[in-house]
Amino acid sequence: MSLLKYESQIREPLVNGNKNYHQVTEDIISPIEMKPTRLWYIGFYISVALLLFGVYSIYREVTYGVGQWNLNKTIGWGWDITNFVWWVGIGHAGTLISAILLLFRQGWRTGVNRAAEAMTIFAVMCAGQFPIWHMGRVWLAFFIMPYPNTRGPVWVNFNSPLLWDVFAISTYFTVSLLFWYSGLLPDLATVRDRAKTKLRKLLYGVASFGWTGSTKHWQRHESLSLVLAGLATPLVLSVHTIVSFDFATSVIPGWHTTIFPPCFVAGAIFSGFAMVQSLMIILRKVFGLQDYITLGHIEAMNKVIVLTGSIVGIAYITELFIAWYGQNYYEWYAFKENRVNLFSPYGWSYYLMMFCNVVSPQMFWFKKLRRNIAFTFFMSIIVNIGMWYERFVIIVTSTYRDYLPSSWSTYYSPSIYEIGFYLGTFGLFFTCFFLFAKYFPVIAVAEIKSVLKTTGESYKVKMTDMEKENSDKFYLEEVEHAH
């Protein structure tokens, strides 16, 4: 054992139990090779049922038009754009874990990055549904692509944030997919080489692209993932920045604020981590992966939640202060009457948002609560509800009272098909996630192996013993040997 493999004892092990390389493969890949449990089937069927309800809701919307939704004269963006922003935000945590934490060399990302990236891809798929179906005449959706056409040519407006969104979301989806899949190749090859049945050999053989594990390939693979991480880092910041531009570049009171881009990005990471927590807590339990997704991982993610939650809180308060300090009548009215006033039609949603996003995450300052699984799971749901309400508050409370009191709309509440569409994306998300969990390695096997000897529990114990020996001997034998 060389000193290059040394990690301080203060750091918690990332892999618990007495593991070797083969054991890691066995633990993570064997669930793929077994028949799914009853629980898996139940979850999968519920998801498919939700998905089908979503498909029916979309069918209604396409056949009869956007009138199937309860949008009205001033609230042109209701649940659908709320859901769009919410889902995109969820996706951001996956990229943060896989890209930003890779650049920061955070070892704990290896336990959760694969599933978090999958979550990103599925969340962006769900997000994409909303603007696409909101077009109404969805068969003309290709009009958003800029290409020389026979309609003039009529080009898209490159100065419009809505078009920036098209580019941002599609780039984000493509880059996330490439990043995820290139990381999956070696692990799919592991599944392929263990496969006993013909069908599995065929399918994983095709999926693994003939990966062999050659040193030169690994060298390129490392370079590829590092550069992709470097590209994905500004990309993830740009995506939610651009989403926030949809609002910030408008002249609607409550939307026209420069704080939106950083506030949205922090909020996105905040809600995304909450979703990762919900999924990981279930995943580790169902697949028995407690040794790989440890309490340490959960605590680390809770720290991110309390940080980003506090950033979001500061942003809310700054926004409120500036609305007053800026002395714009309409801006201040939107805040004072439409949001802060508890007795206004939507006042309750502002306080719900404040409580869920700003007050409740502060519980995570306590270590006991950060390491409490049941509490973490509960909080992750609360945070996601809160972040959904943030988008709802921004969209609805700013639009339901226009400049013109005569066009102030009646109370907006969603129709069953609006709710059905939202539930349908849950169905899509969880159907994809259940299939992913069944057919793909949910933890990056190769990456766990590469940190195993530094951070595995059994190896850390050996290091403690080594440190206890005579330090001179330790230095002469181990350090000299390492060179």
Partner 1 sequence: MSGVKKFVVGSFDDEAVLFPAVKNVRRAGYKIHDVYTPFPVHGLDHAMGLRETSLHTAGFIYGITGTTTALTCISWIFTKDWPLNIGGKPHFALPAWIPITFELTVLFSAVGMVLTFCYLCQLSPFVKKHHFHLRATDDLFVMAIECTDKTNDAEVQEFLQKAGAKEINVQVAETGWWLGRYDKEQKLYRELEKGY
Window 69 to 128, contacts with partner 1 (CB under 8 A): none
Binding partner 1 (rule: CB under 8 A), the pick from 49, 226, 461, 476 is 226
In this complex, which beta carbon is closest to partner 1, that of residue 195 or of residue 305? 195
Q: Which amino acid belongs to residue 122? A: F
Smallest gap from Cβ 414 to partner 1, in A, equals: 31
Among 97, 116, 119, 235, binds partner 1 (CB under 8 A): 235
Q: Choose among 171, 318, 325, 160: nearest CA to 236.
A: 171
- Site residue total, partner 1 (CB under 8 A): 72
Residue closer to partner 1 by CB (options 166, 396) is 166
Say if residues 270 and 387 touch (Cβ distance below 8 Å). yes
CA-based nearest residue to 228, from 171, 272, 188: 171
Measured on CA atoms in the order 13, 16, 17, 23, is the torsion positive or negative? negative
C-beta closer to partner 1: residue 250 or 407: 250
Q: How many degrees, rounded to 5, is the angle at CA 124 between CA 91 and CA 221?
A: 70
Q: Are 275 and 123 in contact (CB under 8 A)?
A: yes
With respect to partner 1, which residue has the nearer C-beta, 73 or 481? 481
User: What is the rounded distance in angstroms from the CA atom of residue 36 to the CA atom of residue 47?
Assistant: 15
167 binds partner 1 (CB under 8 A): yes
Phi, psi of 188 (to 5 degrees): -65, -35
Residue with tokens 């943030």: 390
194 binds partner 1 (CB under 8 A): yes
Listed in sequence order, the residues at least 6 apart from 289 whose beta carbon sits closer than 8 Å to its beta carbon are: 27, 28, 283, 442, 443
The answer to the question of residue 224 lying near partner 1 (CB under 8 A) is yes
Tell me which of 245, 377, 400, 417 binds partner 1, using CB under 8 A: 245
Exposure letters 93-123 (e unless 16+ CB within 10 A, then b): bbbbbbbbbbeeeebbbbbbbbbbbbbbbbb
User: For residues 216 and 368, which CB has a smaller minimum distance to partner 1 in the complex?
Assistant: 216
Among 8, 63, 159, 464, binds partner 1 (CB under 8 A): 159
Candidate list 92, 134, 221, 370; residue touching partner 1; CB under 8 A: 221
* Shorter beta-carbon distance to partner 1: residue 221 or 297: 221
268 binds partner 1 (CB under 8 A): no
Region 418-457 residues binding partner 1, contact defined as CB under 8 A: 446-447, 449-450
Choose the binding region for partner 1 from 43-51, 99-107, 153-161, 259-267 (rule: CB under 8 A). 153-161
Could you say which DSSP state residue 135 is in? T
Which string of b and e fits 37-59 if b means at least 16 CB within 10 Å? eeebeebbeebeebbebbeebbe
Residue 66 touching partner 1 (CB under 8 A): no
Distance CA 279, CA 273 (A): 10
Least Å distance, CB 253 to partner 1, is 21
Which of 108, 211, 417, 429 binds partner 1 (CB under 8 A)? It is: 211
Kindly state the smallest distance separating residue 435's Cβ from partner 1, in Å. 19
Interface with partner 1, residue 473, by CB under 8 A? no
Single residue of 8, 35, 210, 404 touching partner 1 by CB under 8 A = 210
Q: Which of 100, 175, 293, 383 binds partner 1 (CB under 8 A)?
A: 175
Interacting positions 5-64 with partner 1 (CB under 8 A): 20-22, 25
Q: Whole-number minimum distance, CB 421 to partner 1, in Å?
A: 27
For residues 266-281, b (16+ Cβ closer than 10 Å) or e, as one string? bbbbbbbbbbbbbbbb
